[in-house]
Structure 1
Amino acid sequence: MVEVEWWKLHWATWDLRGVILFSLFLQTILIYLAPLRKRVSTAWLTTPLWLAYLLADMTAIYGVGLISKSQGETTRGPFANPRYPTLLAFWAPFLLVHLGGPDTITAFALEDNELWLRHSFGLVSQGLFVAYAFFQSFPNHKFWLPTLLIFVSGVIKYTERTRAFYLASSRKFKASLLAKPDPGPNYVKLMDEMKSNPRLKKIEWAPESTRVIRSRIEEDSKKLPDLKVVQVAHQYFSVFNGLIAGSIFSFRERNLTRDFFLKRTARDAFKVVEVELNFFYEILYTKAKVVHGMVGYLLRILSSCLNFATIVIFYFIDKKEFEKFDVGISYSLLLGAIALDLTAWVMILHSDWIVVTLTKSNNPNWFIEILKRLLKVEKGRPKTPGKPRCFSLGIMKIIRRRWSKSVSAYNLLNCCMHPRAKWLEATIDIFGLTNMLDGMEYVETVKFTTDLRNLIFKELKMKSELADTLEIAKEIFLARGDWILKFESRKDLRRWIKEVDFDESLILWHIATDLCYYTNEVNENVNDGGNPMNLATMNSFSEDIKDYCKLSKLLSDYMLYLLIMQSTMLSDVAGIGQTRFRDTCAKAKRFFREKEIMKEEKICSLGISNFGKCFCGNVSDCCNKCSSKWEKEQDKLQKQACEAILAVDTSVEPFAVKRDRSKSVLFDACMLAKELKTLERWSMWEIISKVWVELLCYAACHCKANTHVAQLNKGGQLLTLVWLLMAHLGLGDHFQIREGHARAKLIVKK
């Protein structure tokens, strides 16, 4: 019986040591990996980070409980050892520091911020437990001073995290944006004066001048340096952070931002928006709003000084009576706390917030000037090489970008041509893994290209230039492809948008784009109205057609990905998109099966799976060549499928046959594709690309603001960048642009 009790005590001792070291390991993982989640959109990062985030709090709380329990057992049990309580009491405050978490992550998801009250209770309860463990070790606690210092540091850290949750919660965030109540002009006094003085006859509102606003933002159209990008982004972030809370802005804010962005290039406009979204991310998911401020800097300096003082005091205390392993754990905790603190300081000093803080002062003192020179603030950040030549440069390229710079693509016809076996589909459906495996198998990640960026900005800029009045801006905002068709004098195609729901038009144009893309004659002689062209002009048109083809195809697959795989982003306009998609897939699968185009085993003759990798598992050049062959085989199969669909006689409307029994739009899309193919190739692809940009803009404007910012911790979405860019260009329902705003001066004529 005594031997069993000894093993229990021995296991409890090693259990506690393991928990403490594991807690330190989790903090290291979080501080270094958490910043990558806004730059990389992959489950291989988010899943381990999610596990570390959940385990970090659980491990620290469990460790505090073990310390309290172990102290009681070692002081009162038959195997009492007076050495353990002293060290355990010294370790306990470090778990409070770990509960404070790193600066790089407070909330894993937006909903975590709403739990600030729970974290407040955790701060009080865990602080009391650690204090209890501290006082329980008296009077034989020779490390009381370093323990007290670390305890204060832990309380500061945990308080910072709790306050970050509170400030980012929806209710507090909205309340912080509310302006001071404005009662308006004194109506009673005014009417009394008019009644007492018969010479007062008329009341007029003086229009509010925007000259001051315009002169403050007057900029030339030169390329913006990196420092200017950060400054401008923070300026607009300070004005437009109310977008998250659904605030309404006046014509002054509209003029402030619209005039600026109309003078910018696509590169500069997107860079400003990327940095601005980075500010949104940091106030919602990190400690930035708490740390970056005079009080925050002072508390962080105090916390760092306490950590350094603790290790110095601990070093000079005699520790010969303690086991070397326990002393080693103590040093590991101390050095770990200092290393994490130094890492946090490096991140603070190299953040966009510190750049804004150091450059916004009109009368900087000597200390600010020294910091600016040491951090090279005025010179901006070093440029990233265009093409990384080694692994380290590739890592640096990822670290310096502000979002994933990629879009996800999901193709309906490809999904239908490579279905899973029925038994496999039924099996994974039981465990609810269908959506996850679809994302792994059928979703492709494509780089966000410069051509796509330029196309989107060109269309938005053109619409913003035309939207001088509220009526035109509202018409553009509500358009989902039909406005550009009217502008292009293609009213015959508008029925495929105006007469159908948004989700139906999206699937229609997605399939039609594929049908045109895979049956497009790229080398066709392009002409304009029958006029002959020289070879150089024809080659130029051919290249433009190829660009429009690729961009249309990319936007088409991205929009379907949003509708099917990110349905929450399009919840307000998705309608019965899921049902329509499933019925269309069922129709396509039956058609391909009858035409013997698809293969049930979803494995091609090259021995390559749908993941585009060889079964050998290598990533060598040999497998890359096999993957290239696989892509060519896929294109050939896609072309065969599209030609088979276009060969179907659609002289009778599909609705006359299927009625409302099925929501499939496969052959409706075939009719649309045939209409598009009657146009010249140049005109066809230009129209298709513009329709997709307008559908993208419509979806961006009709996605809820909190849904947009919820994607920032997953690498971000192109849809979110478009949403913010449209707001800056004055396109959206965020503005009240009537003259005679409530802040205008009241003029009374005699």
Structure 2
Amino acid sequence: MASNSFFERLILLWEEWELRLLVLTSLILQIILIGLGNRRKYSTGNKIAFVLWLAYLSADSIAIISLGILSRSQGNCSDAYIDLEYVIMAFWAPFLLLHLGGPDTITAYSLEDNELWLRHLLGLIVEVAVASYIFVRSMKPTQLNFLAIPIFVAGLIKYGERTWVLRLASSKQFRRSLLPHPDPGPNYAKFMEEYTLKEIEGYELSLTAIPPPRVAPSHLMQEGDALIIAYDFFLISKCLFADLILSFQDLQKSQPFFQRSDWEDAFKVIEMELGFMYDVLFTKATIVHHFWGGVLRSISFSSTAAALTAFCLIDLSGYSSANVGISLILLVGAIGLELYAILVLLSSDWTMLWMSRHDNLRAETRGLISGLHSLSINKRWSNCVAQYNMLSSCFKDRTVRCCGLLNWMHKQLENYQDDQMEPVSDYLKISVFEQLLEKSWNAVDFRLCKELCSYRGEWVLKKYECIEKLGWSINVEFDQSIILWHIATDLCLYDDSSNKNLDIVSKSRCEAIRLLSNYMLFILMKRPFMLPDGIGQIRLQDTCAEAEAFIQERKYIQNKSLACKKLLEVDTRISPVDVKGDRSKSVLFDACRLAKSLQSLDTRNQKKWEMINEVWIEMLCYAASHCRWNHHAQQLRRGGELLTHVWILMTHLGISEQFQISQGHARTKLIVQ
């Protein structure tokens, strides 16, 4: 009996506090979303991504469940009497609409959420109807009922904003918004009529082309100037993310600037461009930084502030202290979220851009915006690349082979661990920029641009006159090239590690090579969708299996250095495929052959390492230009990828297959002689 009594009391306690806990949980989730929403722009951590994913999925569900509980609450709805406790709980309904509207810093967790805008529109209609029903049921001439009206207005605005932004960021609408106006071109019929008429009159006619206007390059001076230029180029990047073609006017707009800029300015502008793109695809920036967005934000903030002020002044003696406290927490939380959103808005690149374009602003306003912008954590991407080294992983995995179950559990946990990240060095950025700049000056026509995009090492090997000796390692599937060059690079780095005559530049180059090699293998291992189709993961797992078997047979091999030494000692005069066949896709000993070929080059100068560095950069550029736009866009919410920055840089330098209009309208003039 005592046990039954305990459970009955527990059930009654839950029924009493169920709605209160759900409403407070909804507010907490909004705080998590607004606080962490922008961090994923520059954070690569899986823990933050998991917390955001959980909060994003839970927030709507909890708000909807709370509205459902409110709609079926047993409030007395007779004309004579309405339960005051139901009245104050019904006051929470518009706050749940406010929460369903979500914060400004995150509207979509992934691109797929934007495609579900119609589902959110239906949710808006249904949930507004439910909230209205709750409000009508609790209708009583009390001051608290009147306070619900401004909160209801703010909630409707917030929820409507979210639905509208999701629609604008959906692929179909995003692409449609960027389509140019129909272009019939110059009036050919009229030109030919004039030409025929002059010919009949006996004039000698000739055609001459009018040269297009030259675009003077710009140079960066300050943050505001960089933002203005970045936003102008962002309009070109939007076409890339909508999978639209680019014209020669777009190229003439950006190429002169990047060809005459230094690497630092170039990468800075691209960071800003991708920051704008992230905001458009995953936040409310599209509407918040619009004139009407400012009007709506003013209405929602003033409505919430007025409700809080009135709530503190009215008589609440007839309501329970717990419900009054929760109502006050909801009001203060709503104001706090609004104030934080305003601070984020004022410190954003969009506001800094607006200020830079308006020279007539008062000094106080400029000082406030500049101060907030400098104080905020305004990182635009992680500036890091993930690392995965195949030979090192062979030694890490040896500790978990005691049991199949433990091995499976280890692999599952590995998927949720943070990846090993390392910052992108200045030397690497300089090397990428200089190689692309050299190609850009050679990209004189559309066909050559497409040819430059297709290189994945050939251009460099021809440049260093090594195509006959090393071309076999490039003329295979792209994923096979990555694995071959990754292992060969590792072996060469080990073999040259004892060289104490390396200068600072050479050490920086070797570090950049190691970084790129591990990064490209990580992309193959964890982000294969960003690479051209192939059997890279099968080939990689077979190669890993052969490497592990090689190490296990030689139990004295306890570290990577010794493994590299023993691999280089293997006689590879006979091709591995002649001995093993091609059922196994392992390329371990083909990579050893490549490493020995590289080591046979002149090691007294640094031409070998310059070549290896440039081959990796060309592979990086090939992967960047052949990755689909939606995969680039998805990675913006995971801290950004170096691949995406290289893709944008290549486009601005004219090395892109999306330049399908090579000349534009003919600028032809009829000359009468």
TM-score, scaled to structure 1? 0.83
Structure 2, unmatched stretches of 5+, are none
Structure 1 193/521 Cα, relative in aligned 2: closer, same or farther at 3 Å? closer
Displacement of 1:259 in angstroms is: 1.1
Matched, 1:713 2:637: yes
Structure 1 548/492 Cα, relative in aligned 2: closer, same or farther at 3 Å? farther
Question: What amino acid maps onto 1:724 in structure 2?
Answer: I
Matched, 1:545 2:521: no
Residue from 267, 288, 293 that aligns with 2:290:
293
Contact 1:414 1:638 in 2 (8 A): yes
Contact 1:204 1:748 in 2 (8 A): yes
Distance 1:438 1:67 in 2: 40
Structure 1 361/169 Cα, relative in aligned 2: closer, same or farther at 3 Å? same
Displacement of 1:7 in angstroms is: 7.0
Displacement of 1:290 in angstroms is: 1.1
Distance 2:207 2:163 in 1: 51
Structure 1, unmatched stretches of 5+, are 384-395, 525-538, 600-636
Q: Which residue of 2 aligns with 1:641?
A: 563
Q: Which residue of 1 aligns with 2:525?
A: 564
Distance 1:346 1:563 in 2: 40
Question: What amino acid maps onto 1:15 in structure 2?
Answer: E
Q: Which residue of 2 aligns with 1:661?
A: 583
Q: Which residue of 1 aligns with 2:397?
A: 419
Contact 1:194 1:201 in 2 (8 A): no
Contact 2:529 2:631 in 1 (8 A): yes
Q: Which residue of 2 aligns with 1:530?
A: none
Displacement of 1:258 in angstroms is: 1.4
> What percentage of aligned pairs have identical amino acids?
40
SS in structure 2 at match of 1:106: coil
SS in structure 2 at match of 1:747: strand
Displacement of 1:285 in angstroms is: 0.3
Matched, 1:495 2:419: no
SS in structure 2 at match of 1:552: helix
Displacement of 1:264 in angstroms is: 1.8
Matched, 1:328 2:325: yes
Contact 1:482 1:497 in 2 (8 A): no
Contact 2:89 2:323 in 1 (8 A): no
Displacement of 1:731 in angstroms is: 1.1
Q: Which residue of 1 aligns with 2:543?
A: 584
Distance 1:196 1:464 in 2: 45
SS in structure 1 at match of 2:238: helix
Q: Deviations over 1:608-628 (max 9, x none)?
A: xxxxxxxxxxxxxxxxxxxxx
Distance 1:332 1:688 in 2: 61
Residue from 64, 72, 76 that aligns with 2:67:
64
Displacement of 1:240 in angstroms is: 2.6
Residue from 595, 601, 617 that aligns with 1:673:
595
Question: What amino acid maps onto 2:414 in structure 1?
Answer: L
Distance 2:178 2:36 in 1: 31
Displacement of 1:426 in angstroms is: 3.4
Distance 1:16 1:7 in 2: 15
Contact 1:203 1:746 in 2 (8 A): no
Displacement of 1:481 in angstroms is: 0.9
Residue from 414, 419, 424 that aligns with 1:437:
414
Structure 1 172/338 Cα, relative in aligned 2: closer, same or farther at 3 Å? same
Contact 1:50 1:108 in 2 (8 A): yes
Q: Which residue of 1 aligns with 2:613?
A: 689
Q: Which residue of 2 aligns with 1:342?
A: 339
Contact 2:41 2:381 in 1 (8 A): yes
Distance 2:417 2:6 in 1: 52
Distance 1:142 1:381 in 2: 41
Distance 1:381 1:310 in 2: 31
Distance 1:7 1:564 in 2: 50
Q: Deviations over 1:544-590 (max 9, x none)?
A: 332222111111010000001111111xx241111111111111111
Contact 1:103 1:344 in 2 (8 A): yes
Contact 1:511 1:669 in 2 (8 A): yes
Q: Which residue of 1 aligns with 2:50?
A: 47
Structure 1 131/81 Cα, relative in aligned 2: closer, same or farther at 3 Å? closer
Contact 2:348 2:373 in 1 (8 A): no
Distance 1:55 1:145 in 2: 30
Displacement of 1:400 in angstroms is: 3.1
Matched, 1:255 2:252: yes
Distance 1:140 1:471 in 2: 76
Structure 1 417/438 Cα, relative in aligned 2: closer, same or farther at 3 Å? farther
Matched, 1:18 2:21: yes
Matched, 1:409 2:409: no
Contact 2:237 2:648 in 1 (8 A): no
Displacement of 1:737 in angstroms is: 5.6
Distance 1:102 1:380 in 2: 20
Q: Which residue of 2 aligns with 1:612?
A: none
SS in structure 2 at match of 1:446: strand
Matched, 1:225 2:225: no
Q: Deviations over 1:617-643 (max 9, x none)?
A: xxxxxxxxxxxxxxxxxxxx2121011
Contact 1:241 1:280 in 2 (8 A): yes
Displacement of 1:135 in angstroms is: 0.4
Contact 1:350 1:375 in 2 (8 A): no
Displacement of 1:493 in angstroms is: 3.8
Distance 1:429 1:117 in 2: 43
Residue from 650, 670, 676 that aligns with 2:572:
650
Q: Which residue of 2 aligns with 1:450?
A: 426
Distance 1:276 1:478 in 2: 25
Contact 1:249 1:735 in 2 (8 A): yes
Question: What amino acid maps onto 2:503 in structure 1?
Answer: S
Matched, 1:515 2:491: yes
Q: Which residue of 2 aligns with 1:160?
A: 161
Q: Which residue of 2 aligns with 1:129?
A: 130
SS in structure 2 at match of 1:143: helix
Distance 2:6 2:631 in 1: 58
Residue from 30, 34, 49 that aligns with 2:37:
34
Question: What amino acid maps onto 1:375 in structure 2?
Answer: L
Displacement of 1:104 in angstroms is: 0.3
Q: Which residue of 2 aligns with 1:533?
A: none
Displacement of 1:436 in angstroms is: 5.3
Structure 1 416/11 Cα, relative in aligned 2: closer, same or farther at 3 Å? closer
Distance 2:19 2:204 in 1: 84
Structure 1 372/417 Cα, relative in aligned 2: closer, same or farther at 3 Å? same
Higher mean C-alpha displacement, 18-27 vs 137-146:
137-146
Distance 1:513 1:498 in 2: 14
Q: Deviations over 1:460-496 (max 9, x none)?
A: 2222223233343332211001101111222234423
Structure 1 420/132 Cα, relative in aligned 2: closer, same or farther at 3 Å? farther
Question: What amino acid maps onto 2:484 in structure 1?
Answer: L
Displacement of 1:322 in angstroms is: 1.0
SS in structure 1 at match of 2:632: helix
- Equivalenced residue count is 663
Question: What amino acid maps onto 1:596 in structure 2?
Answer: K
Question: What amino acid maps onto 2:411 in structure 1?
Answer: T
Distance 1:428 1:141 in 2: 63
Matched, 1:239 2:236: yes
Structure 1 172/376 Cα, relative in aligned 2: closer, same or farther at 3 Å? closer
Q: Deviations over 1:12-62 (max 9, x none)?
A: 231000111111111111111111111110111111111111111011111
Structure 1 439/327 Cα, relative in aligned 2: closer, same or farther at 3 Å? closer
Structure 1 453/552 Cα, relative in aligned 2: closer, same or farther at 3 Å? same
Distance 2:6 2:556 in 1: 72
Q: Which residue of 2 aligns with 1:604?
A: none
Distance 2:197 2:440 in 1: 50
Q: Which residue of 1 aligns with 2:91?
A: 90
Q: Which residue of 2 aligns with 1:459?
A: 435
Structure 1 469/131 Cα, relative in aligned 2: closer, same or farther at 3 Å? same
SS in structure 2 at match of 1:129: helix
Distance 1:473 1:171 in 2: 28
Distance 1:170 1:453 in 2: 31
Q: Which residue of 2 aligns with 1:504?
A: 480
Matched, 1:209 2:212: yes
Displacement of 1:207 in angstroms is: 4.2
